[in-house]
Structures are given as structure tokens and as C-alpha cells.
A = this chain, B = another copy of it.
Amino acid sequence: MATEQHDLPTSADVFSAAQNIAGQVHCTPLMRSRQIDALTGANLWFKCEHLQKVGAFKARGACNALTQLPAGTRRVATHSSGNHGAALAWAAATRGLACTVVMPETAPRAKRAAVAGYGADIVICGPTQEDRERALEAVVADSGAHVVPPFDDRRIIAGQGTVALEILQQCRERGFAPDMVVAPVGGGGLLAGVGLAVAALAPDTIVLGAEPAGADDAQRSLRGGVHVTAQQPQTLADGLRTTLGRRNYAVVCHTVRDVITVSEQGIVDAMRLLWTRTKQLVEPSAAVALAAVMEHSARFRNRNVVAVLTGGNMDLDRVADLFAGGEETP
């Protein structure tokens, strides 16, 4: 299917989304750490979306999508490795809608438990994108559910973009405009939304994506100019294993400067730093923006950088494995 222009979200959609979801999601705080600034050489602000409803920015998009459902919708459905599923389950519950979430068998238990906790039905499937889509089609055929995709959706992209409206406002209140905003990229809902908002309101601010080197389809797509639609992701950042969506790619191409990749060790190091210095429990995917700043420090030195901490949902018993061996000296 070709990308049709009218099909793509615009910055106006982001502004509308902010109206749609006002009062239903949190305006999350910006946080700083002088110690992390000293270690990275950048002036870093962390946008704390792990403190968002359901513990992830995904609450924004899901909430926005449910304000624009086709009349008569009784059940919504999606596929998700976790946070979008929990967000949709939560948003559906608040509106008295039924919800089915297709989840890969590799999804963290904590994320499955969250989806179940909000009362949604769960269908387990294989780990690939195709597995997920096939399972979701079966759900729709069976139940007539309205699908709210995890990222390749105009309403979702617009909803996620509201995080950038808050970032720009919060920076303004502190008397500066950010030089850069860095957002992790998996399917690209967040990155595309941030790109739209920043392009409209702060065209001098550079938007950068950050992704694991083991799931680098967004970098290859953006740098190569051809949308890479398949990959075999190898990363502990479970939220970033998806490939960039069609609409997401189209938006990112004209609003995002570059996508930076980071190593697995870089993700663990950044996560450890966030845990120990800010005492904020962020999940591996959320540490990827800081990992990018650390592994490409020359690019960020002395710049005002906002890094989006995307979520805080993970299996606590995996923590020791992640941090085994590496001892940090403060």
C-alpha cells in the first residue's frame, strides 16, 4: 500500500491530541542529575514518562485513539510487546470498552500482568511481527474488535507527540530551548510524534532517534532513504524490537535529523546510571536515549539535551542478570 499524504498525521493532530487527552494523562516531570551531567559533559533533562499512567508514554496515544473511535465500537484490540497493550487495556477500561491484546510469548511477565490487571483479554503469539499480525487478524475476524495499532496510526503518533509539547513548555519555563530532543525508536510512534511537534514549534531544535544496534532498522531506513521493513532484532530493550511503521517512516524522514545506535552494554550502563543516580526505575528501552548521549558524547557536549525516559515496566528478577559483573565506581 502506497503512503497517501492525507493518511499521515500532522502537527495539528498533535495539538488536537493534547486537547483530547488533557486531564486523563499526567504532565510528567523533567528531572536532572548533576552527576550524570558531569559524566556525559551534556546538560541533560530527563522527561519522566515512566511516571506516566501505566508507567509509559503509550498512555498518551492509546488515550487519544479512544477519543476517536468509529461509532458503535464495543471492543478494541491490538498487538504489543507490552506497554501499548497495557495502555490500551487501561484506556479501554476507563471507557467501559472490552479489549483484547495479542502479546508475543517473549513479552516480560510484568507487562503481561499489567495488561491482565486492567481487565483485558490476552492472546499469546510467536515473537515475530508476522506472528503478531496474523493473531490480531484472527481476533478481529472473531470478535469484530476495532484495531488500535501500536504505532503505525495517525491517532497514536499524534498522541505520543504530546510529550514534546510538554517538553518544550517545561524548557521554556526554565528559560531555554533544548538544542536536541532524543527519543528511543522502535515502531516510531513516539519519534514521529515528537518530530511533528518540534518541527512546528521549535524548528531550531534537533530531534534524534536512538535505537539498539541490534534493532537498527530505523537508522538504516533514514540513512539509506529506503524503508527497511524486516529485521531479526537482537536486543534486551524489549520495547524497541519492532520495525518502523509506514506512516512513522514517512514522518520521521522529514522531521528527524538522524537515528543513533547504541550497544547492548551501553544500554545496561545507562540504565544502571539512571537507577543509581536518579533513583528512577526505568526499563531497558527507556535508557536508550541516555545510552546514545553517552556513546556519542562529542555530539552532545555542552548542549541542552532532553532525553525521553519512555517507561518503567520490567521483570524485577531480570535485574541481577542485567547488572551482573559490571561494578560501577561513582
Interface residues of A (CB under 8 A from B): 50-51, 55, 109-110, 113-114, 116-117, 272, 275-276, 279-282, 312, 316-321, 323-324, 327-330
Contacts and interface: CB of A to CB of B under 8 A. Distances in A.
A280 to B, nearest CB: 6
B276 A279 contact: no
A113 B277 CA distance: 13
Nearest to A313: B276
A315 to B, nearest CB: 9
Contacts of A324: 317
Contacts of A316: 272, 275-276, 319-320, 323
A247 B272 CA distance: 39
Given A55-B279, A113-B330, A279-B312, 7 more contacts: A110-B276, A113-B327, A117-B329, A272-B316, A275-B281, A316-B320, A317-B323
Contacts of A280: 279-281
B329 A113 contact: yes
Contacts of A116: 329-330
Q: Copy number of this protein in the oligomer?
A: 2
Contact of A50 (B51, B279, B282): B279
Contacts of A320: 316-321
21 contacts: A50-B279, A51-B279, A55-B279, A110-B276, A113-B327, A113-B328, A272-B316, A275-B281, A275-B316, A276-B316, A279-B280, A279-B282, A279-B312, A280-B280, A316-B323, A317-B319, A317-B320, A317-B324, A319-B319, A319-B320, A320-B320
Contacts of A110: 276
Residue with the greatest number of chain B CB neighbours at <10 A, chosen from A109, A275, A330? A330
Nearest to A279: B312
Contacts of A276: 110, 316
A312 B277 CA distance: 9
A51 B33 CA distance: 10
Nearest 3 CB-CB pairings of A with B: A320-B320, A117-B330, A279-B312
Contacts of A272: 316
Contact of A279 (B114, B281, B318, B330): B281
